[in-house]
């Protein structure tokens, strides 16, 4: 699995700490982690939590990432932004229990974490425990286990509803402010990571066309 880490401007100075906790768990599972930044609050490319959603959607819909870890101060804005796009199911995850139940019941492909609210001393430990439980078992197995069949059935219904409700991603991008969309892809290492890992197709072609 390839995991993408995305941080917005208010929490960018925590990027190294978040990345360390994430890689500690990902390395155990043999997962790859790509850090899309922001890397610090002084980065030239400044991401808002809305742009987190734009960026996450490009990564997930192009196959450049299989899972996205992101967040903001409360995690709420990032969660709403990511869920505004097709191909993204993002949970608001505060702790290990949230992480485990989201993975098992909702079988999503992204989490939005509150990196400021209720976080202080020991935050790196909470993140490590959260990531451990997020990937403790294969996703979508149900919780509690006797609820597996109805939960899996509900997930299929949700997927069908979302497929009917969303337009193609490139059409959405075209209807947004081009500077907003282009800015989501302005990170220092975005192009090299995206070109290396995105699958050929409409999303990759359109995103690269914006970069010139």
pLDDT by residue (tens digit) across 194-211?
999 999 999 999 999 999
Domains in the chain: boundaries: 2-211
Q: Check: pTM over 0.75? Answer yes or no.
A: yes
pLDDT by residue (tens digit) across 160-173?
999 999 999 999 99
Tokens of 196: 């290396």
Tokens of 2: 């390839």
pLDDT by residue (tens digit) across 119-148?
888 999 999 999 999 999 999 999 998 999
Crossing angle, helix 202-211 and helix 190-197, to 10 degrees?
Answer: 160
Tokens of 203: 């999303």
pLDDT at position 120 is 87
C-alpha to C-alpha distance for 166 and 94, rounded to whole angstroms? 27
Cβ proximity of 7 and 18 under 8 Å? yes
C-alpha to C-alpha distance for 21 and 130, rounded to whole angstroms? 9
Those residues whose C-beta lies under 8 Å from the C-beta of residue 20, and which sit 6 or more positions away, are: 124
Architecture of the domain defined by 2-211: 3-Layer(aba) Sandwich (3.40)
pLDDT over 90 at 212, yes or no: no
pLDDT by residue (tens digit) across 1-24?
999 999 999 999 999 999 999 999
Q: How confident is the model at residue 118 (pLDDT cuts 50, 70, 90)?
A: confident
pLDDT by residue (tens digit) across 30-50?
999 999 999 999 999 999 999
**Rounded average pLDDT over 45-64:** 98
pLDDT at position 99 is 98
pLDDT over 90 at 94, yes or no: yes
Secondary structure class of 99 (helix, strand, coil):
helix
Strands of the 2-5 sheet, one edge to the other: 32-35, 2-5, 67-72, 110-114, 90-92
pLDDT over 90 at 85, yes or no: yes
């Amino acid at each position: 699995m390839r995991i993408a880490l995305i941080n917005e401007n208010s929490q960018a100075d925590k990027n190294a700490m978040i990345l360390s906790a994430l890689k500690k768990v990902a390395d155990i599972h043999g997962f790859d982690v790509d850090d899309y930044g922001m890397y610090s609050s002084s980065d030239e490319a400044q991401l808002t939590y809305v742009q987190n959603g734009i960026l996450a959607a490009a990564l997930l819909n192009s196959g450049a990432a299989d899972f996205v870890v992101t967040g903001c101060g409360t995690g709420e804005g990032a969660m709403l932004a990511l869920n505004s796009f097709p191909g993204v199911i993002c949970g608001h995850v505060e702790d290990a229990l949230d992480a485990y139940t989201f993975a098992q019941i909702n079988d999503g492909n992204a989490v939005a974490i509150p990196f400021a609210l209720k976080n202080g001393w020991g935050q790196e430990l909470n993140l490590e425990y959260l990531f451990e439980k997020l990937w403790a078992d294969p996703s979508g197995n149900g919780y509690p286990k006797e609820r597996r069949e109805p939960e899996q059935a509900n997930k299929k219904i949700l997927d069908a509803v979302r497929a009917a409700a969303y337009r193609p991603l490139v059409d959405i991008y075209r209807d947004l402010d081009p500077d907003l969309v282009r800015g989501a892809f302005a990170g220092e290492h975005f192009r090299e990571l995206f070109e290396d890992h995105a699958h050929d197709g409409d999303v990759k072609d359109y995103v690269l066309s914006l970069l010139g």
